[in-house]
């Protein structure tokens, strides 16, 4: 087959020989599976959008490649009082348009990011007031003591106030209503790269900012970045192998071995700051999406336990993920504060016990239920869900798989239409509070905004609210422990695995891999 293919190729391709691919050494051709949704840096809190924004814009506090917190546009910070922070800002930094960066810009950006329709306001919801002390000093007052404010600020990038006013983008783009403003397709940051051109969904070109304030400490070898979203993973891999791309995210796990064997390609991996799990609606009295009339099987903890026992995560790890996952016992990624190995232990796969539990709960005959999955969000998400359908079938639960594109999946999830769904959760603050705040707190319009399970516990709510203001580390850790105990005991979510992150690159390219899956092109070196 291969010989024939080569022969055929020789016949057709003789005219084309001599036109081999040759990457210009200073250009980095990068592909992820999807494009930034917008360049407005406060409009969408979403992976590819963040990756793009963080090349062009800088935050006050930077999350370095090793995930430690480093000074960014702020050189130092200090809590003057439990609720008052003072940030000393970097001097001599200028925006891409040449204007100087001052405390006014920082204050403007934080204010922009903490009011609707900013999608980042959850990170900075604790801020009561931002005031400018002098040109390079900023004072932030929080409503209650907030020990993790610097960590939270790593997600808020700084725009130029004058530029925003000039182009009428003082307000964040209202993405949900389809608004378009100047900042969506243009950018003016202080970052290591400036925007050269942008075709949404097609191609974005960045060029090096030679005046970058941090150029001494970074390799800064990349002169140009050409970023092209390639949604098909097979195409992405083919393009990397053929030398059309230098760095790709999400290489399919099935292709890793082949990529590793190729001398032209290097693969790096690290456990990702994200855990994949299943959500179950235990709050409703009756589910529309199941075959059981008048009651909700998922409200019975024994059913949730049965589902947990029926799923063989080791087999999923071995076959579907080809080893590129770490089976999980809780939905906490391994990096974060509050994680404990003892929480991450999973009861072994046990079909018999699962059937017994179902029988005890009154479902000897099993039941039918709709099961929703994204098919383009997580590594092999659809294949994982298919495997789960099979495993649930073996204990009598007939799951009807509805696998669809991520935007529909999340839209339906947020509309409360899904009772049994797959979700992945990363923790950008590296702290358990972020999980409890979004996924376990009662859904009250403010907290619990991603808690679609109907789980509600007063004790949990108290703990979550306590975490926000507790500055004493030991006391805070005790709160986290207590919250995890409740969470694990309830089995609100059925954990599957921690994702393992892979980046594949041409072997002449080197970049430190980041657990947040958001490469910084300034760190790239060429060999």
CB 500 within 8 A of CB 325: yes
Candidates 9, 168, 323, 347: give the one binding another protein (CB under 8 A): 9
In 3-state terms the chain splits into helix, strand, coil percentages (rounded to 5) of 30, 25, 45
Q: Comparing C-alpha atoms, which of 175, 229, 174 is closest to residue 200? A: 229
Candidates 231, 449, 457, 471: give the one binding another protein (CB under 8 A): 231
Q: How many residues bind another protein (CB under 8 A)?
A: 79
- List CB contacts of 15: < 8 A, sequence separation 6 or more: none
| Residues between 393 and 412 that touch another protein (CB under 8 A) | 393-394, 400-405, 407-408, 412
**Token representation of residue 258:** 């082949």
* Residue 276 near another protein by CB under 8 A: no
Candidates 21, 24, 92, 293: give the one binding another protein (CB under 8 A): 21
- List, in sequence order, every beta strand (DSSP E) within 193-312: 193-199, 203-208, 224-227, 247-249, 265-280
Candidates 80, 143, 210, 258: give the one binding another protein (CB under 8 A): 258
Vertex 160 angle, CA 218 and 523, to 5°: 15
Tokens 């230098």 sit on residue: 246
| Residues between 194 and 223 that touch another protein (CB under 8 A) | 199-203
Candidates 38, 152, 155, 429: give the one binding another protein (CB under 8 A): 38
CA atoms of 149 and 525, how far apart (whole Å): 32
Tokens 């009082």 sit on residue: 81
| Residues between 43 and 102 that touch another protein (CB under 8 A) | none
Q: Comparing C-alpha atoms, which of 462, 491, 499 is closest to residue 343? A: 491
* Residue 507 near another protein by CB under 8 A: no
* Residue 132 near another protein by CB under 8 A: no
Query: Of 313 and 439, which has the nearer Cβ to another protein?
Result: 313
**Could you tell me the smallest distance in angstroms from the CB atom of residue 328 to another protein?**
18
Candidates 76, 217, 232, 508: give the one binding another protein (CB under 8 A): 232
* Residue 181 near another protein by CB under 8 A: no
Query: Of 300 and 370, which has the nearer Cβ to another protein?
Result: 370
**Token representation of residue 204:** 């974005």
What dihedral angle (degrees, nearest 10) is formed by the CA atoms of 479, 483, 489, 495? -130
* Residue 235 near another protein by CB under 8 A: yes
Query: Of 17 and 342, which has the nearer Cβ to another protein?
Result: 17
Encoded one letter per residue, x for contact with another protein by CB under 8 A and - for no contact, window 355-394 reads ---------------x----x------xx--xx-xxxxxx
Query: Of 35 and 300, which has the nearer Cβ to another protein?
Result: 35
Question: Strand, helix or coil at 459?
Answer: helix
Query: Of 243 and 466, which has the nearer Cβ to another protein?
Result: 243
CB 464 within 8 A of CB 511: no
Candidates 75, 80, 115, 234: give the one binding another protein (CB under 8 A): 234
């Amino acid at each position: 087959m291969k010989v024939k293919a080569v022969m055929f190729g020789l016949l057709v391709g003789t005219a084309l020989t001599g036109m081999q691919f040759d990457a210009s050494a200073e250009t980095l051709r990068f592909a992820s599976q999807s494009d930034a949704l917008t360049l407005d840096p406060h409009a969408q809190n979403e992976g590819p959008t963040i990756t793009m924004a963080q090349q062009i814009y800088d935050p006050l506090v930077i999350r370095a490649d090793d995930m430690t917190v480093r000074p960014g546009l702020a050189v130092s910070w200090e809590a003057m009082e439990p609720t008052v922070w003072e940030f000393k800002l970097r001097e001599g930094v200028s925006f891409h348009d040449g204007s100087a960066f001052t405390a006014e810009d920082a204050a403007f950006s934080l204010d922009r990011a903490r009011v609707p329709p900013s999608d980042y306001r959850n990170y900075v919801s604790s801020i009561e007031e931002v005031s400018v002390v002098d040109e390079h000093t900023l004072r932030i007052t929080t409503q209650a003591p907030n020990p993790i404010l610097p960590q939270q600020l790593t997600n808020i990038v700084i725009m130029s106030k004058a530029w925003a006013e000039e182009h009428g983008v003082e307000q964040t783009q209202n993405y949900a209503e389809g608004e378009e403003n100047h900042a969506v397709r243009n950018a003016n940051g202080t970052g290591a790269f400036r925007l050269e051109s942008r075709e949404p969904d097609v191609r974005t070109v960045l060029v090096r900012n030679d005046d970058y304030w941090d150029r001494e400490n970074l390799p800064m070898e990349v002169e140009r970045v050409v970023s092209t979203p390639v949604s098909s993973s097979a195409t992405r891999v083919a393009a990397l192998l053929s030398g059309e791309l230098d760095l790709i995210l999400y290489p399919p796990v099935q292709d890793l071995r082949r990529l590793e064997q190729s001398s032209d390609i290097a693969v790096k991996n690290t456990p990702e700051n994200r855990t994949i799990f299943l959500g179950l609606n235990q709050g409703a009295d009756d589910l529309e999406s199941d075959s059981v009339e008048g009651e909700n099987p998922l409200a019975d903890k024994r059913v949730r336990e049965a589902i947990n026992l029926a799923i063989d995560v080791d087999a999923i790890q071995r076959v579907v993920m080809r080893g590129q996952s770490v089976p999980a016992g809780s939905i906490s990624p391994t990096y974060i504060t509050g994680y404990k190995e003892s929480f991450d232990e999973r009861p072994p796969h046990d079909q018999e016990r699962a059937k017994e539990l179902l029988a005890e709960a009154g479902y000897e005959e099993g039941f039918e239920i709709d099961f929703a999955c994204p098919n383009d969000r997580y590594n092999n998400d659809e294949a994982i869900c298919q495997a789960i359908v099979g495993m649930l079938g073996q204990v009598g639960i007939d799951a009807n798989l509805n696998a669809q594109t991520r935007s529909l999946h999340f839209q339906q999830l947020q509309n409360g239409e899904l009772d049994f769904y797959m979700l992945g959760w990363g923790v950008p603050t590296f702290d358990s509070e972020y999980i409890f705040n979004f996924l376990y707190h009662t859904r009250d319009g403010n907290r619990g905004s991603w808690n679609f399970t109907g789980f509600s516990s007063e004790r949990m709510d108290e703990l979550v609210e306590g975490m926000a203001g507790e500055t004493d580390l030991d006391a805070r850790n005790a709160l986290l422990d207590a919250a995890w105990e409740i969470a694990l005991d309830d089995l609100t979510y059925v954990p599957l695995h921690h994702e393992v992150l892979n980046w594949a690159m041409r072997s002449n390219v080197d970049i430190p891999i980041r657990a947040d899956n958001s490469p910084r092109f300034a760190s790239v070196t060429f060999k």
